[in-house]
Structure formats: structure tokens, C-alpha cells
Amino acid sequence: MTTARNIKDSLSQAEVTKKKRQFAVLTHLKQNKVAFISFIFLILVHIIVFLGPFAWHVTPEQISKDGSLVGWSLQHPFGTDDLGRDVFSRMLHGGRVTLLVGLCSMLFSLIIGTFIGACAGFLGKAVEAVFMRITEAMMAIPNFFFVLVALTVLGTSPFMVIIVIAFSSWMEIARIVYGETLKWKEYEFVEAANASGASTARIMAKYILPQIIPSIIVSGTLTIAWAILTESAISYLGLGIQPPTATWGNMLQNSQQYIWTAPILGILPGIAITLVVLAYNFLGDGLRDALDPRYVNK
């Protein structure tokens, strides 16, 4: 009888820790002005980029009759580029692609990293040895080299770019999840769940993953920042998503030549990338501080 009650107590303890943490995180995030502003800014940018094209009907490929490299006008708020395409429209559509690549890469990267890390941590023995060696090997390859090699053989469609970036950036998440799984595995409520006959998958999903979610969110946020930077760099090198599909990265590709005649072509996408990545970095930092156990316990 007492054992049954102990098990029940331990299991509800898991719920309590979770709630306590969530509450503390929210309070701390609100106090961090920079992170909070970044968060609002990101929401706005995503709304503009994803909903903007529904209001702004000029398509990014359409060649304007006003000619190329024209300046500011009502028809073209940011002018036109070297081929006479509307820069504003290209910024919106390019932003869609860039941000989507960032978000999707992060998502895939989280899935791969969490799977590898959780399996290695929870299953132990051979799985642990193999998965962690692969993780270390992937960490030893400078990831930009990996991305270049993979894109060369797999092609440069947006989908491939997402997959390749994800496969080059899951290692940190795997290590975090691995470490956390090892830690939480030892807790009473997990042992209790184990004793009450729950399956491995169920323990993982119901008791361990929820504890890890905060750390995953932090690395996820920072992974988006990294993915956006990588996408823009490979697009700039001409090895990423190919024109005519616009991305903020490949919009910069030819902009150097026109920097004096049409400076906006070279500056606007660069600023857009910088601000979005900056906001993701600030948000990630803010979340990390908010989730730091040293703050949570206070």
C-alpha cells in the first residue's frame, strides 16, 4: 500500500516541477526587455512576411515596365532590382523562403537530435556507444564543409537545403538531450513509472521529454538563427537555393555591382537577415537565462 502511494507521489512530483518551472520562465522572460522586444519583433516579421504577399499582389518574378534599378515610387516602395523586379515583393517572398528554411531546419534538427540523444541516454549500452560516436564524428566535421558536400551531391532544392542544414546542426541538441536524459533517468518519479510497468517509449514521452523541453526550446531558437545564417551564406556562394526563387541570401548575390547605383539592393536583405537573426539570438539568450536553474530556484 505504502509503495503504491509513494509511486503516486513521485509521479505527481514530476507535474509540480514542470509547473513551477513554466511559471518562473514566464516571469523572467517578461523582465528581460530585450528578449521580450525580440519576441514581439519576430512575431511581427513573420506576420508581415507570411501575410504580406496576400496584400501586395506584385509577384517577385514579374518584370516592371518602369525598367530596372528605378528608385522609390508608390508602385515599387523599394524600387526595382537589376532585372526590373519589384524589390518589396522579392523581400516578402524571399523572407518567406528564408524564414521557412530556418523554421523547418530547426524542426528537423530537433527531431533528429532529440531522437538520437534520447535513445542514447535511455537505451544505453551499444545504442549509446554508436549514437554518441556518430554525434562526435559529425561535430568534428566543420559543418559548413558538410553542408557544401551534401548540397553538391543532393542538389539545391529548398527541401534539400532544409534537410541538409538540419543534418548538419542536430548534434548540440542530441548532446543536451542525452545529458538531460541521463540526469532525469535517475529521478524517483521515473523509477516509479518504471516500477509501475510503463513502457520505455511511454516513460520517455510522458516523464522525461517534458523535463527536457525547456532546454530544447533554447537550442531550437539558437538553431533557427544558425540555419538562417547558413542558408544565406550558401545562397550567396551560389550553392544554395537557386534563382529565380528569391531568398534574402541569394538577393545579395549580385547586389555588390549595384551598390552605388542602387544601394538598397545590397543593404536591405542584409539588414533583414541581421535583425531576424539578432532577435532569435536575443530571444534564445533570454530564454536560457530564464530557464537557468540558478534563477528558477530563487
Partner 1 sequence: MLRFLIHRIGQSIILLFIVTIITFFLINLAPGGPKGVTRMDASPEERQAMIERYGLDKPVIVRYGEWLKGAIHGDLGISYTSNEPVIKRIDERLPYTIELTVYTIIFSVVFGIIFGVISAIRRGKVLDHLINFVSVIGLSIPAFWLGIMLILLFSVSLHWLPSSGVGPRGSDFNVLGYLAHLIMPVIILSTTVLPNIVRFTRSSMLEVISQNFIRTARAKGAKEVVVIYSHALRNALIPVITIIGVMIPRLLSGAVITESIFGWTGIGNLIIEAANGRDYPLVMGITVVITVVVIICNLLVDLIYSQVDPRVKNVA
Would you tell me which residues interact with partner 1 (CB under 8 A)? 133-134, 136-146, 148-155, 225, 229, 232-233, 236-239, 249, 252, 256, 259, 266, 270, 273-274, 277-278, 281-282, 285
Least Å distance between CB 247 and partner 1? 12
Between 143-154 and 209-236, two packed helices, what is the crossing angle to 10 degrees?
70
- State the nearest-atom distance from the C-beta of 252 to partner 1, in Å: 6
* Closer to partner 1 by Cβ: residue 34 or 51: 34
What torsion, rounded to 10 degrees, do the Cα atoms 138, 144, 150, 151 define? 160
Instruction: Count how many residues are written for the chain.
Output: 298
* 16 vs 139 by CB, closer to partner 1: 139
d(CA 173, CA 281): 16
**DSSP letters along 166-218, please?**
HHTS-HHHHHHHHHHHHHHHTSHHHHHHHHTT--HHHHIIIIIHHHHHHHHHH
Q: Whole-number minimum distance, CB 24 to partner 1, in Å?
A: 20
Smaller CB separation from partner 1, 117 or 249? 249
Per the CB < 8 A criterion, the answer to whether 56 and 96 are in contact is no
Which of 55, 140 has the CB closer to partner 1? 140
Q: Cβ closer to partner 1: 192 or 276?
A: 276
- Could you give the CA distance from residue 46 to residue 148 in angstroms, rounded to a whole number? 28
**Minimal distance in Å, beta carbon 65 to partner 1?**
31
In angstroms, give the least distance from the CB of 250 to partner 1: 12
